[in-house]
Structure 1
Amino acid sequence: MSGPQPVPPGGPQASGPRSVAAAGGIEVAITGDGARVVMLPPEAVRWAREVSAPPGAANLPGSASGVFVGRGRELARLRELLAREGDAAVTPPSSRTRAVHGLGGVGKSSLALRYAHAYRSEYTLVWWITAESAEQITTGLAALALRLCPHWAAAVGVPERAAWAILWLQWHPGWLLVFDNVEDPKDLRHCLGALPDGHHLATSRKATGWHGIAPTMALGLLEPDASADLLCALALGPERPPTADQRHQAEDLAAELGYLPLALEQAGAYLHQTGTELGSYRRLLGRVVDRAADGTDPERTIARVWNHTLSAVEGRDPLAVRLLHTIAWLAPDDIPRTLLATVAPDPVALGDALGVLHAYNMIAFTADRQGLTVHRLVQTVLRIRATAESHPAVRGRQEAEQGLCHAMADADRVAPERDARWERLLPHVFALAESAPPDRPLSPQLADLYQDAAHCLDRQGRNADSVPLRTVVVAQRERALGDTHPDTLTSRNNLARAYEDAGDLGRAIPMFEATLAQRERVLGDEDPATLRSRNNLALAYSEAGQVERAVPMFEATLAQRERVLGPTHPATLTSRNNLALAYKRAGDLARAVPLFETTLAQREQVLGDAHPETLTSRNNLARAYRAAGDLTRAITLSETALAQSERVLGDTHRDTSTLRNSLAGAYVAAGEPARAVPLYEATLAQRERLLGTTHPATLRTRANLAIAYEKSGDPARAMPLYESAVADLERVLGDTHPDTVAARNNLAGARRNAQAVRQSGAALASPASPGRRTAPPAAEPSVPDRCDYHSR
C-alpha cells in the first residue's frame, strides 16, 4: 500500500440530501443515500483514506470487435460535457454526470469505453460498473474494494465492500465511474449524491427518467461512411484495404443493416469467420424468416443478421446453437456456466461451443470466464421463434428450466437467503417466470422453484418483488389442479399477500375475498387455512382504512383460533395482535393497550424475546403507549425493538424499517424532531428503493418526515414533502382515507403557520395548530399470516 493521501480541506465531502462522508475515526459508513448503514472497523476506514490507486488503475472490459470507427463528434461532445477547461485529476473536478441513451445495439457502451480509454490518463481511477439494477451497482462498487484493499475486502461481504469503496471515492477525487446499461435511472441517485468529486458516465436504453438525475446525450445511428468502414475492417481485416467493388458492397450492406453498430459487428464477424462475400451476405437477407414486432427496424435487421449467423455457427458446432437457444431464456447478464451443464455436461465440449459463440460476438465472457453475457436483442430474436413445439427455441426453454432447477438442487433450501447462489440465480428465475408461455404447462419442479424463490424473498422482507413468480405459480396450479384445489388457494393467498406488500390493495382485496369464500366452501369455516385467509383479508381492510369491516372479522378469527388452536398458539397470538392493532386504529386505546400487553407477554414466553413477531408486538405496544401519551415507556420500548431487529433481521429488512419509522415518530411526539429526522430520512430512502415511491408505507414516511422538518424549523424542506405526500396519498389511498385526511390537515396547518410567520416576521413557538393532527399513522407493524407454504 502507498502512503496516506492529503486530506481535502475540511475532511471528506458529501453532497445531496441524505449523503454522508466519514472521517478516520468513524466506524459507520452509509452506502448511498442513507438506505443502508454498514459498520466498518476503524482500520478499514483508515485504509480507505490511506490506500492509493495504482497509476492507470481501471477495470475496463474488452471491446467486442476490437474496432472503433466514427463517433468523433460524439466523443468530443461527451468530453466537453464532462470536463471543462481547468478540470483535471490534479485539481479535484466538480462532480459531473452525463447519461448516453439510445437504441439497443447503437453503440452506447462502445462510446463510453472509447472515452474511458481516450482520457484514462486524466483520471486517478477509471471503474466500470454494470448497472442494470441497484444490486449490480452495489456489486460493482464492492469489486473496487476488492481491487484496492484485497487483504481486508476478501474476508467481508458485498455491503461492507461497497461501503468501503464509497468511502475511498470520497477521500480520493479525480476518478471516473462508468455505469453501463442503466435500467432505472433512480438507481444512481445514491451514488451521485454521495460521490461529488469525480465524473459519472452512464449508458442506458432509456431516454426518459433522467430529469433531476443527469443531463443526457442521445446517441443515434452510425454515419454511413463509418458503417462501411466498420464492415470492411471486420470482414476483411484492418490490414487489407477493400477494393472499390467491396467498398460499394459494404455501403449497400450497411444501409441494409440500418447502420446499427451491433448488427454491423455481427455481420462483420460472420463474414470474416466464413469468408462469405459482402455482396452474397446482403442478397441472403431477403429470405429471412424472423420479423420484429411492429416492424421496428433495429430488431428486424438484427434478426436478419442473426438468422444467417446462427447457420454459420451451427456448421461449426451444433451444440453452440443449442446453448444459445438455452441462454435466450435466462437473464442476459452473469449467466453461470453451471446453468448449461445439463445441456453440455462435458466441460471441454461446453468450452468449445461457447468459444464459437464468442468468436461470432454472440456472447461475451465475464472477467472470471466462469460466466457469460448475451445481448438481450439476441434473446428477443430467438424467443420470437418459439412458435412450435418442435422448434429449437422451445427445447431451449425446457433446457434452461432444467439447468436452473439442477443448479439450485444443492443450494440451501431451508434458508436460501443465506446462500449466495440464490442471489446470483434469482435474476434467471425471474427471467424464466416473466417469459413463461401462457399456453404451455409449467412443470411441478419449476413451480416449486418459483415458489421457493418467492418464499426466500418473503423471508428477506422483499415479498413485493415476488409478484411475477407467484403469478406464474397461481396460473400453473389453476391449470394443473383446478380452481379450488387447496394448493391453488394457497398460491392465490400468497399472491394476494405479495400484492398487498407491493401496495396494490386494488388487486389484493378482491383476491383475498375470493380465496376466503372458496376456502370456506371447500375446507370449512374453521380450517386453519380458512382462518389465515380471514385474518389476511381483515388486515387488507384495515390497511385500506376500512377499520369498521376489519374489527369484527378480527374478533371472529381470534375466537375461532382460541377454540381450535388454543390461546397461546402462534397463530392465535397473531390474531390477538392484529385485533389490538385494529382497536388502536379505531381510536379505542382502552381495549388496544391491554391486548397489546397480553400479546407481548405471551410472545416473549412462547416465541422468545428476540423473535421477529415478539419485536413487532413490542413496537406495537410502544406505539399504543405513545398514542396514550406515555412517551417515556414508548421510546424505551421502540429503541429496544429497533436494536434487536437490526441485530436479528438486519438493517435493511422491511420490519426493521418499520421499527425505525416508529421510533422516529416517538421522538417527534416527545419534542425531539432533530433525532427523528435522520431516522425518517434513512427509512424514506430505503422504502423508495425497495417498495417504490408511491407505496403507502413510503408515502406515510414522506408525510412524517415533512412533520419532522417543520418541527425542526425547516419549512423550506417540509412544504414540498407535505404537498407531494398529500397528492400521492389522494391518488393511491383515496381522498377520504384516514392517512390522506391526516396528511391534508398537516399540510393546511403548515401553510397557516408559514403565513403567520410571514405576517409576524418571526417563527411561532410550535408548528402545530389547534386541532391539527401532527402525524398520520406511520406504517403499522401489523403481523399478517405471512404466505402459506406448500408441504413437500
Structure 2
Amino acid sequence: MTGESGAEAVGRRSIAAGQGVRQALTGDGSVALYAEKSVNLPAEAFALPATAPEGLVNLPDRTSLFVGRARELALLDEAFREANGVVVQAVHGLGGIGKSTLAAHWAAGRVGSYNPVWWITAETAADLDTGLAELAVALQPALRDVLSREALRERAVQWLARHEGWLLVLDNVADPADVRGLLGRATGGRFLVTTRRASGWHKMARPLALDVLSPAEAAELFARIDGPGEEVDVLCRELGYLPLAVEQAAAYCAEAGISAGRYLELLGAYPEEVFAQSAEGTDQDRTVARVWRVSLDRLADTPLAGRILGVVGWWASEGIPRAYLEAMGTPVEVTEAVRRLAAHSLVKVHEDDTISVHRLVQAVARAEGGAGHDAALVLLSNADRFRGIDADVRWLTHLEALAGHTDPESDGEHEAWLFNLGGLKSSQEYGHSRRTELHERAVAAAERAFGPRAEFTFSFRRNRAEGYGYAGDHARAIELLERDLADHARVFGARNPGTFEIRADLAEVLLDAGQLQEALKLAKRNATRAERVLGSEHEVALGVWSAWAKALRYSVEEDDGAHAAEAAHAIETWLARVEAAQGEDNRFYDHVHWELIWVRAAAGDIEEATVLFERCIARRERLYGETSRAALNTRRAFATFLWGTVGASDRARELLAQLIADWERLLGETPHLEELRAHYARLASPPEATG
C-alpha cells in the first residue's frame, strides 16, 4: 500500500513509514521500529536466520608466528569439550604476552567444529557493539545499510541466544562488566575471552593465566622473523621471553640489518626509545611501550599504583615482599594499589606474600618514571625490618638490582646510606670484593651529599677501610685509616668520639696485618684515653675496648696460651663493668665476650669456653635472630670448636646436620652451603665410614 507520505510498502509483511511517523509496528507486533525518514525494510528484517551461512569465519591473521603453548592449548581443548550450556574461557595476562595470538591459533583450528567462528575486538563497550553489528550483517548481508548499529547488535545477540554451535572470541576485554550482559543472554555457545584483567571473572568465566614463552620458544619466534644468530638467547632472556618484545626486536633487527647483540646494546643505552620503536608495516600501536601505556593510563585514578610500579621497577623482578611497600601509604591504600596492579596483570601476587613484575615492565617503568631515589629510600627503610639471613639475602638481591640500574653519579643521601648498609651485609653472599665496591660507592655518594668532612662521611670511610681489611688488603686498609684519623682529628679534634673509633679500627687492622705489639699498645692507649676523656659509661669508651680485647686474644694465641689467665681476668673485669651498666645484650659486651671464649680455650679451660660459646649463641639469637647470619656463623664456629678442640664429634655432627638443614631451608643451594658440606664432609660421615 501507499501511505499519505508517499512511502510505498512492497512485499509480504513489509511496512512503509513516512517522515512524520515516530513508531510503526507489524501486524503481530513482533518488531518495533523508529523512523524519521521513509525506509523500505526487506522481509529479512522481520525474521532471524535459521542457520548461519556455511563456513562463516572472521579471524585475524595472527597464526603464522605462533610457537609453543602446548599446555595452554590442551587446557582450552579440555574446557571447551563440555557439551551443555555456555562455556566462557578468559585468557588473561600481561599486555604483549600473546593472548590474542593464542586465541587466534586455537580458534583457527576449530573452524570445522563451530559456525560461525567470529572475532570481535572488545576493548570497549562500543567496540563490542560494533563487532556484534558486523556479525549480524554477516548473518544477513541484506541488512547492512538498512538497520542502525543498535538494531543490528540486538539481532546478533538474539541470534546467538537462540542457537548453539558457535564460537565468539572477545579480544582484549578491558572490563568484565562490558561483556556480562552478552554472556548472560547468549547461553548456547562458546566464548573465548582475552583480557589483561586477571580478576573479576570468577562468576562469569574460567580464568587461564598466560605466562611468557620458554627460552627455546622465544628463540624460535625470533628465528622465524630474523633467522638464527649469535646472542639471540641472551637477547630473549633480557626481554624476559615476552612474545611481543621478542617479535618487536626480531622485526626491527631484520629491517635495520643489525644483530641481536647490537639491539641489546641499544636496549641497554636507550630503553625508552627502543621500546617505542617498531618495524615498518607492523602495528605502530603494538609496541611494548604503547601496549603498557594503556594499562598505566587506566590506573591514573590510583596514583599510588603508579608510584609502586615506579619503585619496584628498580628492584629485582621476583621475590618483592609486599611488606616492603607498607610505608608507601595506609594499609588500605597499599592493598588497593597492589590489587589494581595485579588486576591489570602488571604485577603478580604470590602465596608467599611477595609480588613479581616482568623485567620489561620494570624497564618501561624506569624509563618513564624516574623514581630511582624513591626506590632507594623505600629499600633503605626496609634494611633492618626483617631478621634472618634469608631476609638479608632477599634485601641484598634488590639492592644489587638497584645498583645495576642506577648511575653512581646520581647517587644522593639515600644511596649513601643504602650502599653502606649493603656493604656491611654483603660479604658472605657476594664476597669481600663486592663489599668494598659498595663501600666505595657509599663514600662517593656521602662526599657529594654531606661533604668530604662530614661526620657521616667519615663513618662510611671507616666501613670502607674495614672492608678492605676483611678482603685481606691490609695495606690499603691501614693507608685509609691513617689518613682518615689525621683528617678527623684535624676537623673534629683529638677528643672527639669519632677520632677514638677510627684509632680503634686502625688497631684492629694492624692486628690482622700481623703487627701484634703495635696493635696491642695502640688499642690499650686509645681505650684508656677514651675512657678518661669521655667517661667510663660513654658508648664509644665502651666500644673501643673491643680492639684491646681482640689484641689480648691474639697475643695469648701467639704465645701458646701464655698469660691467658691474666688476659681472661682483664677481659672479665671489663665485661663485668659493661654488664653492670648496660647488661649483656648489647654489641659492646658481645664483641668482647667473643674474644673471651678463645682466650679461655687458649688457656686450656675447655669446659668454661664451651659454656661461654653456648651463652654467646643464645645472646646472638636474642640480639640478631635465630636465623641471622651472626647466629648461624656462631653455631658453625661452635661445631668446629667441639670437633677440633674438644673432640666431641658426635655432638658436633648433630649440630652440623641441623645447621646444614637450616641453611638449606633458608636459602636453598648456595656456594656457601656447598663449602659448608665440603668442609665438614668427614665429620658428617658415620663413624664407620670415616675409619
Name 1:531's counterpart in structure 2. 500
Distance verdict in 2 for CA 1:644–1:334, change over 3 Å: closer
Shift of 1:437: 1.1
Q: Give the conservation status (yes or no) of the 8 Å contact 2:240–2:360.
A: no
Identity of aligned residues (%): 25
The match for 2:449 among 480, 483, 488 is: 480
Q: Distance in 2 between matches of 1:616 and 1:545?
A: 20
Q: Distance in 2 between matches of 1:620 and 1:580?
A: 6
CA offsets 1:1-38 (integer angstroms, 9 cap, x no match): xxxxxxxxxxxxxxxxxxxxxxxxxxxxxxxxxxxxxx
TM-score by length of 1: 0.45
SS of residue in 2 equivalent to 1:638: helix
Q: Give the conservation status (yes or no) of the 8 Å contact 1:329–1:396.
A: no
Matched, 1:633 2:602: no
Q: Distance in 2 between matches of 1:297 and 1:609?
A: 55
SS of residue in 1 equivalent to 2:544: helix
Shift of 1:431: 3.2
Q: Give the conservation status (yes or no) of the 8 Å contact 1:341–1:403.
A: no
CA offsets 1:208-261 (integer angstroms, 9 cap, x no match): xxxxxxxxxx9656675xx39xxxxxxxxxxxxxxxxxxxxx944677996987
Q: Distance in 1 between matches of 2:470 and 2:387?
A: 22
SS of residue in 1 equivalent to 2:500: helix
Shift of 1:494: 2.7
Distance verdict in 2 for CA 1:476–1:291, change over 3 Å: farther
Matched, 1:439 2:409: yes
Q: Distance in 2 between matches of 1:369 and 1:576?
A: 44
Name 2:357's counterpart in structure 1. 374
Q: Distance in 1 between matches of 2:429 and 2:585?
A: 17
Shift of 1:570: 4.3
Please list, as runs of the form range in 1=range in 2, the aligned pairs for 1:303-452 lying within 5 A after superposition.
307=277, 308-314=287-293, 318=297, 327-334=312-319, 336=322, 338=325, 354=341, 358=345, 363-367=346-350, 372-376=355-359, 379=362, 393=367, 396-397=369-370, 399-402=371-374, 405=377, 416-417=385-386, 427-442=397-412, 444-445=413-414, 447=416
Q: Distance in 1 between matches of 2:602 and 2:352?
A: 58
Q: Give the conservation status (yes or no) of the 8 Å contact 1:454–1:470.
A: yes
Q: Give the conservation status (yes or no) of the 8 Å contact 1:328–1:378.
A: yes
Structure 1 counterpart of 2:652, one-letter code: A
Name 1:773's counterpart in structure 2. none
Q: Distance in 2 between matches of 1:655 and 1:316?
A: 45
Q: Distance in 2 between matches of 1:425 and 1:642?
A: 24
Q: Give the conservation status (yes or no) of the 8 Å contact 1:299–1:377.
A: no
Distance verdict in 2 for CA 1:544–1:707, change over 3 Å: farther
Stretches of structure 1 lacking an aligned partner (at least 5 in a row): 1-64, 73-104, 108-217, 229-249, 272-277, 384-392, 717-762, 764-792
The match for 1:669 among 629, 637, 645 is: 645
Distance verdict in 2 for CA 1:620–1:299, change over 3 Å: same
Distance verdict in 2 for CA 1:396–1:558, change over 3 Å: same
Please list, as runs of the form range in 1=range in 2, the aligned pairs for 1:146-545 lying within 5 A after superposition.
220=216, 227=221, 251-252=224-225, 266=242, 268=244, 296=264, 307=277, 308-314=287-293, 318=297, 327-334=312-319, 336=322, 338=325, 354=341, 358=345, 363-367=346-350, 372-376=355-359, 379=362, 393=367, 396-397=369-370, 399-402=371-374, 405=377, 416-417=385-386, 427-442=397-412, 444-445=413-414, 447=416, 470-498=439-467, 500=469, 508-545=477-514
Q: Distance in 1 between matches of 2:391 and 2:642?
A: 40
Name 1:185's counterpart in structure 2. none
Please list, as runs of the form range in 1=range in 2, the aligned pairs for 1:604-683 lying within 5 A after superposition.
604-657=579-632, 659-661=634-636, 663-664=638-639, 665=641, 668-679=644-655
Q: Distance in 1 between matches of 2:395 and 2:633?
A: 29
Shift of 1:521: 2.7
Structure 2 counterpart of 1:581, one-letter code: K
Distance verdict in 2 for CA 1:666–1:610, change over 3 Å: farther
Moved more, 617-626 or 331-340: 331-340
Shift of 1:645: 3.4
Q: Distance in 1 between matches of 2:629 and 2:391?
A: 22
Shift of 1:551: 1.6
Q: Give the conservation status (yes or no) of the 8 Å contact 1:319–1:353.
A: no
Matched, 1:571 2:540: yes
Q: Distance in 2 between matches of 1:296 and 1:449?
A: 29
Q: Distance in 2 between matches of 1:672 and 1:371?
A: 43
Structure 1 counterpart of 2:491, one-letter code: V
Q: Give the conservation status (yes or no) of the 8 Å contact 1:531–1:557.
A: yes
Q: Give the conservation status (yes or no) of the 8 Å contact 2:215–2:241.
A: no
CA offsets 1:594-643 (integer angstroms, 9 cap, x no match): 32121222222122144444344444323222212223333333333333
Shift of 1:571: 3.4
Name 2:199's counterpart in structure 1. none
CA offsets 1:643-675 (integer angstroms, 9 cap, x no match): 343344433334434543554425643443333
SS of residue in 2 equivalent to 1:563: helix
SS of residue in 1 equivalent to 2:601: helix
Q: Give the conservation status (yes or no) of the 8 Å contact 2:376–2:402.
A: no
Please list, as runs of the form range in 1=range in 2, the aligned pairs for 1:677-696 lying within 5 A after superposition.
677-679=653-655
Q: Distance in 2 between matches of 1:462 and 1:261?
A: 26
Q: Distance in 2 between matches of 1:608 and 1:282?
A: 66
Shift of 1:423: 9.1
Distance verdict in 2 for CA 1:380–1:435, change over 3 Å: same
Say what the alpha-carbon RMSD is for the aligned residues. 6.0
Q: Give the conservation status (yes or no) of the 8 Å contact 1:331–1:428.
A: yes
Structure 1 counterpart of 2:589, one-letter code: T
SS of residue in 1 equivalent to 2:612: helix
Q: Give the conservation status (yes or no) of the 8 Å contact 2:600–2:606.
A: yes
Structure 2 counterpart of 1:491, one-letter code: F
Name 1:42's counterpart in structure 2. none
Structure 2 counterpart of 1:396, one-letter code: G
CA offsets 1:419-440 (integer angstroms, 9 cap, x no match): 9999977654553344331332
Structure 2 counterpart of 1:596, one-letter code: I
Q: Distance in 1 between matches of 2:471 and 2:298?
A: 42
SS of residue in 2 equivalent to 1:333: coil
Q: Distance in 1 between matches of 2:503 and 2:574?
A: 20
Shift of 1:533: 0.7
Matched length: 456
Stretches of structure 2 lacking an aligned partner (at least 5 in a row): 1-62, 71-95, 99-213, 278-286, 301-305
CA offsets 1:451-493 (integer angstroms, 9 cap, x no match): 67778x59x9999797666444322221234333332212211
Name 2:520's counterpart in structure 1. 551
Name 2:117's counterpart in structure 1. none
CA offsets 1:563-603 (integer angstroms, 9 cap, x no match): 21234544334433432331331235425223212122222
Q: Distance in 1 between matches of 2:400 and 2:394?
A: 11
Distance verdict in 2 for CA 1:679–1:318, change over 3 Å: same
Q: Distance in 2 between matches of 1:265 and 1:658?
A: 39
Distance verdict in 2 for CA 1:568–1:498, change over 3 Å: same
Shift of 1:544: 3.6
Q: Distance in 2 between matches of 1:221 and 1:677?
A: 47
TM-score by length of 2: 0.50
Q: Distance in 1 between matches of 2:612 and 2:318?
A: 45
Distance verdict in 2 for CA 1:596–1:521, change over 3 Å: same
Q: Give the conservation status (yes or no) of the 8 Å contact 1:365–1:372.
A: yes
CA offsets 1:387-423 (integer angstroms, 9 cap, x no match): xxxxxx2x623x34336646977x7x9x634699999
Q: Give the conservation status (yes or no) of the 8 Å contact 1:660–1:683.
A: yes
Q: Give the conservation status (yes or no) of the 8 Å contact 2:621–2:631.
A: yes
Name 1:98's counterpart in structure 2. none
Q: Distance in 1 between matches of 2:348 and 2:496?
A: 53
